[in-house]
Amino acid sequence: MSESQIQSQWERVGGEAAVKAVLDRFYEGVLGEPQLAGFFENVAVDDIKPHLAEVLEVVLGGPNARTDIDLAGYLTEAHSGLGVSESDYALTGQVLMDTLNEFDVPADIQETIAGALATVQPFVVAA
Ligand code: HEM
């Protein structure tokens, strides 16, 4: 693609392969946090990753971004009954932002993701 063409943030990160690598690292980080690991004890993390990649593709405007996801309903449903606290959420967000830094993800894309983290918090954290 020539430099004059406008790329989505999804493409600038490196598309699906790069997002997959980031998510692999992110989950390593999450599972390495004693406060968070317990949530994933009986969960096949490899099954969650493609779903999280889909959410990120919506957030970063990738070419295959689904338009049929009701993010609020989907995320509320996925996390209902887990009892995720604000502190768990903040730590997970920190692990994600650390991972983005590790991969040298550009600042504007980090801002988009940080904004999305703030937006979806009410759907993930237990009331
Ligand atoms: C930005 C914040 C988050 C997003 C976008 C997100 C997204 C997702 C998605 C897309 C799924 C898969 C749903 C499916 O399989 O259809 C999922 C599952 C899950 N998430 Fe999250 N999540 C977030 C934060 C958290 C946090 C903070 C925790 C706990 C510390 C957490 C724990 C889990 C667990 C345990 C599952 C598996 C639930 C199950 O299969 O029983 N998530 N999440």
Structural domains of the chain in order of their starting residue, each with its CATH number? 9-124 (1.10.490.10)
Binding site membership of 117 for ligand 1 (Cβ less than 6 Å): yes
Predicted local distance difference test score (pLDDT) of residue 6: 87
Using the atom order of ligand 1, give the atom closest to the CA of residue 78.
13
The overall longest dimension of the chain from CA atoms, in Å, is: 48
At residue 2, the pLDDT reads 59
Question: Which atom, in ligand 1's list, is nearest to the CA of 117?
Answer: 1
Q: What is the pLDDT of residues 83-123, one digit of tens each?
A: 999 999 999 999 999 999 999 999 999 999 999 999 999 99
The CA distance from 77 to 122, in Å, is 12
Q: Whose CA is nearest to atom 43 of ligand 1?
A: 78
Task: Tell me the DSSP string of 32-46.
Answer: T-HHHHGGGTTS-HH
The residue assigned the tokens 């997002």 is 19
Is the C-beta atom of 43 inside 6 A of ligand 1? yes
Q: Which residue has the higher pLDDT, 127 or 63?
A: 63
Specify the pTM.
0.94
pLDDT band at 3 (very low <50, low <70, confident <90, very high): low
Rounded (5°) CA angle 76-24-101: 90
Q: Which of 23, 31, 82 to mutate to test the pocket of ligand 1 (most atoms within 8 A of CB)?
A: 82
How confident is residue 8, by pLDDT bands cut at 50, 70 and 90?
Answer: very high
| Mean pLDDT over each residue of the chain, to the nearest integer | 95
Q: Whose CA is nearest to atom 40 of ligand 1?
A: 43
100 C-alpha vs ligand 1 centroid, how far in Å? 18
Averaged pLDDT, 73-83: 96
14: left (phi over 0), alpha (psi -120 to 50) or beta: left
